[in-house]
C-alpha cells in the first residue's frame, strides 16, 4: 500500500487496474476508510475502470499529527494525491457523505480535471434555502437514539435488521478510526458548509446526486437541492436504503453509477 506524505499527515491509498483505463476515485464518509468500497472496486474493475481508494487524513491507516487542519485539508490532500498517483489524468469522483465535502471542493477548484462527479448521501457543504428547510425538518435526536440501541445511524435500522452481518462489518470499519475525534470533524464540516448556489451555477461537470430514501443522517431533500442547483445535476432516490446506499444496496448503487459514468464519458 503506497503512502503520500503531506504536511502533518500521511495518506494511505490503493490503485487497482491498468494505468491506461479511465480513473475512478472513491472518497469515503465519516464512518469509513478505503475498505468501505469493497463492493465497488471489483465491479468497477470489471467494467473497465481503474480504481483509486484512499483513507482521509486521520482515518486508519492514514495518520495526522494534530486535529487541525483536519477536514480543511481534505480537498488539498486529494489534489496532492492525484498529482502523485495519476498526474494529468482526468478523474471521475465518487463521494460518500463526508467525502462529498472533499470532492465538491476539489471539483469547484479543478473543474477541467473532473470528468464526472457522484455525490452519494451528501450535499458536500452546499447551502441554500432548500437545504436549510430540509435540515429544519429533520427529527431531533434520532441519531443518538439509534446509537443508544447499538445501531450505527450511517448504516441504519433497516441494515441492522435485514443484513446484520453487513451492519457488523460497517461498525468494524468505523471502529478502525477509534482514535479520531469525529465530533471535532463534524464541527469542521459544519464550518465548511459555505458553498452557495452562485458557486455551483457555472459548474459544467455532470453530477449525479444519489440518496437513500430512508437516510436519517443527511436528508434526501438536501441532496436533491444540490442536484437542482447544478447545471448538469441529476437526482436518484434509492428505495429501502439508509445513509450508506453504496454499502447497503451495492448492486443498485453500482448500476446507477456505472450507467451515469458511461453517459458522462
Residue keyed to cell 469522483: 93
The answer on pLDDT for 125 being more than 90 is yes
Percent of the chain with pLDDT over 70: 100
Inter-residue contact 125 to 216 (CB < 8 Å): no
Within 10 Å of residue 128's Cβ, how many Cβ atoms? 18
Phi, psi of 51, rounded to the nearest 5 degrees: -120, 130
* Tens digits of residue pLDDT in 165-191: 999 999 999 999 988 999 999 999 999
Q: What cell does 48 get?
A: 473497465
Residue keyed to cell 445501531: 151
- The arithmetic mean of pLDDT across residues 183-203, rounded, is 96
pLDDT band at 16 (very low <50, low <70, confident <90, very high): very high
Residue 233 confidence (pLDDT):
98
Residue 1 confidence (pLDDT):
78
pLDDT band at 202 (very low <50, low <70, confident <90, very high): very high
Whole-Å CA distances, 142 to 114, 149, 156: 36, 11, 11
Taking phi over 0 as left and psi of -120 to 50 as alpha, with beta for the rest, 8 belongs to left
Report the length, in residues, of the chain: 265
Q: What cell does 213 get?
A: 430514501
Is the bond into 69 cis (omega within 30 degrees of 0)? yes
- Of 80, 97, 81, 79, the closest CA to residue 248 belongs to 97
Please measure the distance between the N-terminal and C-terminal CA atoms of the chain and give it in whole angstroms: 29
User: What integer best gives the mean pLDDT of the chain?
Assistant: 97
- The arithmetic mean of pLDDT across residues 94-107, rounded, is 98
pLDDT band at 224 (very low <50, low <70, confident <90, very high): very high
The answer on pLDDT for 90 being more than 90 is yes
Biggest CA-to-CA distance, the chain:
48
Angle at CA 20, nearest 5°, toward 16 and 26? Answer: 40
- Helix residue ranges per DSSP H, 67-207: 74-85, 98-109, 129-136, 142-148, 157-162, 164-175, 182-191, 197-200
Q: What cell does 37 get?
A: 468500497
Report the distance separating Cα 195 and Cα 143, nearest Å: 25
Q: Is 69 exposed, middle or buried (0-12, 13-18, 19+ CB in 10 A)?
A: middle
Report the distance separating Cα 146 and Cα 163, nearest Å: 16
Report the distance separating Cα 153 and Cα 55, nearest Å: 21
Residue 67 confidence (pLDDT):
87
pLDDT band at 265 (very low <50, low <70, confident <90, very high): confident
Percent of the chain with pLDDT over 90: 97
Helix (H, G, I), strand (E, B) or coil at 200: helix
- The arithmetic mean of pLDDT across residues 99-126, rounded, is 98
Amino acid at each position: 500500500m503506497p503512502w503520500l506524505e503531506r504536511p502533518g499527515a500521511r495518506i494511505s491509498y490503493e490503485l487497482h487496474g491498468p494505468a491506461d483505463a479511465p480513473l475512478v476515485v472513491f472518497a469515503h464518509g465519516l464512518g469509513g476508510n478505503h475498505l468501505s468500497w469493497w463492493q465497488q472496486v471489483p465491479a468497477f474493475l470489471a467494467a473497465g475502470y481503474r480504481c483509486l481508494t484512499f483513507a482521509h487524513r486521520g482515518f486508519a491507516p492514514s495518520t495526522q499529527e494534530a486535529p487541525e487542519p483536519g477536514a480543511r485539508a481534505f480537498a488539498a490532500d486529494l489534489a496532492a494525491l492525484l498529482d502523485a498517483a495519476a498526474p494529468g489524468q482526468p478523474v471521475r469522483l465518487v463521494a460518500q457523505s463526508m467525502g462529498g465535502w472533499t470532492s465538491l471542493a476539489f471539483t469547484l477548484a479543478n473543474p477541467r480535471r473532473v470528468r464526472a462527479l457522484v455525490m452519494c448521501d451528501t450535499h458536500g457543504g452546499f447551502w441554500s434555502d432548500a437545504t436549510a428547510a430540509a435540515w429544519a425538518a429533520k427529527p431531533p435526536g434520532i441519531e443518538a437514539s439509534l446509537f443508544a440501541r447499538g445501531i450505527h445511524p450511517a448504516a441504519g435500522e433497516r441494515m441492522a435488521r435485514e443484513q446484520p452481518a453487513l451492519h457488523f462489518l460497517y461498525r468494524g470499519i468505523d471502529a478502525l478510526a477509534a482514535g479520531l475525534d469525529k465530533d471535532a470533524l463534524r464541527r469542521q464540516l459544519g464550518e465548511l458548509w459555505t458553498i452557495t448556489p452562485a458557486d455551483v451555477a457555472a459548474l459544467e461537470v455532470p453530477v449525479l446526486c444519489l440518496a437513500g430514501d430512508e437516510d436519517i443522517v443527511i436528508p434526501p431533500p438536501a441532496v436533491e437541492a444540490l442536484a437542482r442547483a447544478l447545471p448538469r445535476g441529476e437526482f436518484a432516490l434509492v428505495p429501502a436504503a439508509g445513509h450508506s446506499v453504496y454499502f447497503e444496496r451495492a448492486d443498485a448503487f453500482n448500476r446507477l453509477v456505472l450507467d451515469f459514468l458511461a453517459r458522462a464519458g
